[in-house]
Amino acid sequence: MLSDPVKILITGADGQSGSAIVRLAEADAFFSVVALSRKLLDVTQPAKIVEALDKHLPDYVINCAGLNSADRAERDPQRAMLLNAEAARNLAVACGDLSIPLIQLSTDYVFDGHYASGYTEEDDTRPLGAYGESKLSGEEYVRQLLPQHIILRTSWLFSDRGDNFMLRLLSEAREHALMYAVDDRRGCPTSSFDLARVILAIIKQLSCGAEAWGTYHYCGAEVTTRYGFSEAVIAAARQYEDLKVDSIQPVASKDYVTEAQRPATSVLKCGKVLNAFGIRQRPWRLELQRLIRDYYGQVRL
């Protein structure tokens, strides 16, 4: 290695996206990693952020802290605003004072879901609920306060850690013979490791002089529904574990009642990240196979 590694500071480092970034970056000599879980840095505390940045002086901050549930946000919109909007503002202000670029994660749920063909970065936002509103406010703070930012919208994350649809599905599948999955909400699942790959690739190119700040979309390739994804998860897991479930029944979202309203189609078009950084979408099915294999390599049943 001829030059010093690029130092990245990750907030929310124990979560599904944060921990994937930490694991990939720690295996890559290009980076040195400062992984800050909530215990080590509470992003709702501006003074603590300033202290952490002064102490570590990172080249980039990646904000993976947040509230990641549409239903929980609906139950507690103030907390969603605190974690997804005010915290992003705190980070943008502190990063701005030290000229540190910020990578901010955002979501497909900033859209209302009426474009059946999917959304580009230029399309109008119109969140349907408290979660999307809080994430959109976070985006707006970052855009206003810090020119050197990347806002990366992604969707339907799945991971071997944290609270996500895939792990919830697996625990349900161990308990129940019959499961239900919504089949009229379309989107693109994204592996947390695939997202981590994309974020690190973007940072490498920014570090080599690409001045491509702004808002981007990235998600796994192939549009599906929660039903389609559920079938794929169960089939992949069955290679490694006997599951109790013997049938997944497709249901309409009107018959699967949840607190939050969700977009009908939250497909993110990813042409801009390809044009700016040469980053291509990877099929989520391949990423799922890889993640499930690694997951069963770690857990003892």
Ligand X SMILES: NC(=O)C1=CN([C@@H]2O[C@H](COP(=O)(O)OP(=O)(O)OC[C@H]3O[C@@H](n4cnc5c(N)ncnc54)[C@H](OP(=O)(O)O)[C@@H]3O)[C@@H](O)[C@H]2O)C=CC1
Q: Which is nearer to ligand TDO, 249 or 275 (CB)?
A: 249
Give residues 13-42 in contact with ligand X (rule: CB under 6 A). 14-18, 38, 41-42
Contact 216, 282 (CB under 8 A): no
Q: Which does 38 bind (CB under 5 to 8 A by kind): ligand TDO, ligand X, none?
A: ligand X
Choose the binding region for ligand TDO from 76-84, 105-113, 201-209, 235-243 (rule: CB under 6 A).
105-113
Q: Is 131 a catalytic residue?
A: yes
Binding residue for ligand X, selected from 101, 113, 162, 228, defined by CB under 6 A: 162
139 binds ligand TDO (CB under 6 A): no
Among 94, 118, 132, 154, binds ligand X (CB under 6 A): 154
Q: Determine the straight-line distance between the first and last CA of the chain, rounded to whole angstroms.
A: 41
Smallest distance, ligand X to C-beta of residue 42, A: 4
Cβ contact 60:8 at 8 Å = yes
User: Cα(237)–Cα(230) distance, rounded to whole angstroms?
Assistant: 11
Residue 11 binds ligand X (CB under 6 A): yes
Q: What b/e sequence results for 81-101 when a residue is b if at least 16 CB atoms lie within 10 Å of its CB, and e otherwise?
A: bbbbbbbbbbbbebbbeeebb
User: Under the criterion CB under 6 A, does residue 31 sit at the interface with ligand TDO?
Assistant: no
**Among residues 161, 204, 189, 220, which one has the least CA distance to residue 17?**
161
Min CB(97)–ligand X separation in Å: 19
| Interface with ligand TDO, residue 41, by CB under 6 A | no
SS3 content of the chain, % helix, strand, coil (to 5): 45, 20, 40
Instruction: Name the 3-class secondary structure at 71.
Output: helix
Indicate which of ligand TDO, ligand X, none lies near residue 172 (CB less than 5 to 8 Å, by partner kind): ligand TDO
Polymer length in residues for the chain: 301
| 155: contact with ligand TDO by CB under 6 A | yes
Give the binding-site size for ligand TDO (rule: CB under 6 A): 23
